[in-house]
Amino acid sequence: MQRLLVLGSHQQSFHCFRYLMEAVVGAGVAVVGLVPHQTQPPIGPGEDVRDLARARGVPVLGLGDLDGLGFDLGISLMFDRVLPAAIVDRPPKGFVNIHLGPLPRFRGVNSVMHAIRLARRDDHWKFGVTLHYIEHKVDTGPVIELAECPILPDDTAGALHARACALVLPLFQRHIHRLVESDARLPSVRQEGVSYFFKKGPVDHEVDLSLPPDEVYDLVRALTFPGKPRPYAMVGGRRIYLTPDEI
């Protein structure tokens, strides 16, 4: 019996989990638990992975429930917490993660924002989603596949996020059967090259209008995301909100 542990309750986590339950789980394959995000991201109606797990008889767990839980393969679907080393090392077939960002270029959080902010400066106009093995250090494990998409000159963070999220399910579908059926880890490539690492923390949405025009434009686009605070500038002691088409 192949025992799988799944982490994550992002909108894309739901679609991957549904595919897993419909196309992979069955004779000889079972999901022994689902651990949702610790801070639940926005999801649409009918896209709560916790409801789907309960309907399929999969226990919904917290990280504290994993002590002593046996599983053969761990699957992190854009999960929002760093895993203890003891959990990372437990499954004999490893722990894989889907990271919303290209590795090794963007490790850590807010990759979409930083990709837009730095694209012009670094002349790097590609983004992507990475399937990789988890190691003890965050987002450093060997890469199974990087699925890429372009960064367009007028992209906002919201637009690039949507384009990248569209890559998640196909990436998962390309590899989940091999991950489950293989007796060992899949071929993967050690990360090499330039890397940025951004820690979790508050994002400053104030834009300094004294910056060069292109930098102001890129920063406003990088900070424009539905449901998030809007970018703004202080003018004459007043907060003036900015949108890309007004710059």
Q: Based on the fold, state whether residues 232 and 156 are members of the same structural domain.
A: no
Distance CA 57, CA 124 (A): 45
Distance CA 41, CA 9 (A): 8
Q: Quick one: average pLDDT of 41-55?
A: 96
Q: In what order do the strands lie in the sheet with 29-35?
A: 29-35, 2-7, 73-77, 95-99, 126-133, 143-150
Distance CA 95, CA 193 (A): 23
Question: How many domains does the chain fold into?
Answer: 2
Residue 194: what pLDDT? Answer: 87
Residue range 112-170, pLDDT digits in tens: 999 999 999 999 999 999 999 999 999 999 999 999 999 999 999 999 999 999 999 99
Residue range 82-108, pLDDT digits in tens: 999 999 999 999 999 999 999 999 999
Mean per-residue pLDDT over the chain, rounded: 96
Residue 208: what pLDDT? Answer: 96
Residue 245: what pLDDT? Answer: 83
Q: Which residues of 19-37 are buried (b: 16+ CB within 10 A; e: fewer)?
A: ebbeebbeeebebbbbbbb
Binned at pLDDT 50, 70 and 90, residue 39 comes out as very high
Q: Based on the fold, state whether residues 164 and 72 are members of the same structural domain.
A: yes
Q: Quick one: average pLDDT of 63-91?
A: 96
Q: Identify the CATH number of the domain in which residue 140 sits.
A: 3.40.50.12230
Q: Based on the fold, state whether residues 39 and 151 are members of the same structural domain.
A: yes
Residue 146: what pLDDT? Answer: 98
Q: Based on the fold, state whether residues 157 and 240 are members of the same structural domain.
A: no
Q: Is residue 25 part of a domain?
A: yes
Q: Based on the fold, state whether residues 65 and 133 are members of the same structural domain.
A: yes
Residue 246: what pLDDT? Answer: 61
Domain that holds residue 111: 2-198
Q: Is residue 193 part of a domain?
A: yes
Q: Based on the fold, state whether residues 102 and 220 are members of the same structural domain.
A: no
Q: Based on the fold, state whether residues 218 and 131 are members of the same structural domain.
A: no
Q: Based on the fold, state whether residues 113 and 192 are members of the same structural domain.
A: yes
Residue range 174-228, pLDDT digits in tens: 999 999 999 999 999 999 998 999 998 999 999 999 999 999 999 999 999 999 9
Distance CA 130, CA 146 (A): 4
* Residue 247 predicted with pLDDT over 60: no
Q: Is residue 148 part of a domain?
A: yes
Q: Based on the fold, state whether residues 122 and 218 are members of the same structural domain.
A: no
Q: Based on the fold, state whether residues 189 and 227 are members of the same structural domain.
A: no
Q: Based on the fold, state whether residues 154 and 62 are members of the same structural domain.
A: yes
